[in-house]
Structure 1
Amino acid sequence: MKDLGPLRYFLSIKVAFSPKGYFLSQAKYANEVIHRAKLTDTKLFDTPIELNIKLNTTDGVPPDDLTLYRELMDCLVYLIVTCPNLAYAVHVVSQFVSTPRSSHWAALLRILRYLCSTIFQGLLFSFTSSLDLVTDADADADWAGDVNDRKSTFGFYMFLGDSLISWKNKKQTIVARSTTEAEYRTMAHATAEIVWLRGLLSDLGIPQSSPTSLYCD
């Protein structure tokens, strides 16, 4: 056994300590991903994906390097560990990893250019944050948002005090017959996550004395 001192890096995740708390980021790893993509311009974007974009399986032609597309997708999926702002965009583009087209490649490059402008962002776990699962758990879904199979995509995020600890973005397994059904199924997924987190916190000696709110539009 050897004491390696305070934690600094773990699986490409940098852990920085400050009087405010612990800050987790993957700036070095993100920079390696950008270089692997061989981006030659300095064009940046404020959002990781175009508003209301609808990608389908037949747009464009296959890219020259299918292996590079799949490698970059794997890297972006791992970056979501500290970059939840990429979750939706990566979810959309990753659905075409088996047979990508030029439109999907363009969407992937937009994510990387957005990443260039947010490369030093990460997650802060504040020392002064409360240990209440206040979630401001916001669950939302689009109805039949996928033009290929008409399934809805849902997402939610949850906080422990001021610290973001859980988030998910995923396509529903069935085709919802109304926007109401899509929203209720999203709330069911979010509720299951809340129940699991409350149980985990209780096991860690942090029982929740008050209900956890769940919001949905």
Structure 2
Amino acid sequence: MIQRCLFSLLLVDALFFFLYVDDMIITGDDPEYIAFVKACLRDQFLMTDLGPLRYFLGIEVSSNSDGFFIFQEKYIQDLLARAALGDERTVETPMELNVKLRPTDGDPLPDPTRYRHLVGSLVYLAVTHPDISYPIHILSQFVSAPTTVHYSHLLRVLRYLRGTVTRRLFFPRSSSLQLQCYSDATWVSDPTDRRSLSAYCVFLGGSLIAWKTKKQTAVSRSSVEAELRAMALLIAEVTWLR
């Protein structure tokens, strides 16, 4: 019988705890220990057991014998309803190739509130949609003073989501623990400050676990330098993950 338990903070990540039961670290998915952990938490906090995770903060979770799916289908549908697009068109890509947006493109929006609201919602949607990470990084740079051109590109992202609303991230139950990493970079893609963009994605086995698009902190004097900066950003992420 379990006599006592002690949760200890994992030093490398403040979101994780070890469970010590009678001076032993407990791991795995044993239903008895899961029930015991819930009982310990109920003794300390006011909480309700809602059963297996299905929906949390706009993120939906489903599973089958092969693995787990994470998606935000309802969130996208609600977002499209709030955007009130005037047509039912869809597009194949979230942004056109080789687009270089400037702060002075187009006419200033008389009321930028809608633009800011939609971009903010899309930033959260990128939690489960890495395919919109790049366009959202670009469009979020103009939230202080958006124009009609910026807004038209924002609507394109929404039309892309309308056609891909059922796409999901899949995490297989059985997969290797080998990290596979990919990085890429643009070169002087921002016409205003001439800085490049770094991007990467990291897989743990067959599961996509990390991705990012970020403007580089300095101007790269060649495409090779831009690629090396992107690789350095990825190496820092992999070092932390390991």
Q: Shared topology, TM-score over 0.5? A: yes
1:185 aligns with 2:229: yes
**What is the identity, as a one-letter code, of the residue corresponding to 1:38?**
A
Q: Which of 116, 135, 155 matches 1:109?
A: 155
**Deviation of the 1:192 alpha carbon:** 0.6
1:93 counterpart = 2:119: no
> Are residues 71 and 112 of structure 1, via their aligned partners in 2, closer, same or farther at CA, if it must alter by over 3 Å?
same
Q: Secondary structure at the match of 1:76?
A: helix
1:59 corresponds to which of 87, 105, 110: 105
Give ranges in structure 2 of 5+ residues lacking alignment.
1-41, 43-47
CA distance in 2, matches of 1:57, 1:165: 33
Map 1:1-217 → 2, pairs under 5 A: 1=42, 2-133=48-179, 135=180, 137-198=181-242
Ranked by relative contact order (alpha carbons within 8 Å, sequence separation 6 or more), the top structure is: 1
Alignment length, in residue pairs? 196
For residues 184 and 119 of structure 1, the distance between their equivalents in structure 2, rounded to whole angstroms, comes to: 35
Distance 2:49 2:227 in 1: 49
Q: Which has the larger radius of gyration?
A: 2
Structure 1 stretches of 4+ with a deviation exceeding 4 A read: none
Partner of 2:34: none
Identity of aligned residues (%): 51
Deviation at 1:76, TM superposition (A): 0.3
Partners of 2:94 and 2:164 lie apart in 1 by 10
Question: Which stretches in structure 1 are left out of the alignment for 5+ residues?
Answer: 199-217
Gap change, CA 1:83 and 1:152, over 3 Å in 2: same
Partner of residue 19, structure 2: none
- Within 2, Cα distance between the matches of 1:146 and 1:58? 13
Q: Which secondary structure does the structure 2 equivalent of 1:151 belong to?
A: coil
> How many angstroms does 1:11 deviate by?
1.0
**Structure 1 position 176, deviation (Å):** 1.0
TM-score (norm 1): 0.88
Root-mean-square deviation (CA, aligned residues, Å) is 0.9
Separation in structure 2 between the aligned mates of residue 35 and residue 46 of structure 1, nearest angstrom:
20
Quote the Cα distance in structure 1 between the aligned partners of 2:55 and 2:88: 29
Q: Please give the alpha-carbon distance, in whole angstroms, between the structure 2 residues aligned to 1:64 and 1:72.
A: 16
Give the partner amino acid of 1:8. R
Structure 1 residue 34: Cα displacement? 0.9
Give the letter aligned to residue 149 of structure 1: D
Letter of the structure 2 residue corresponding to residue 45 of structure 1 = V
Distance across 2 between alignment mates of 1:64 and 1:124: 41
TM-score, with normalisation over the residues of structure 2? 0.79
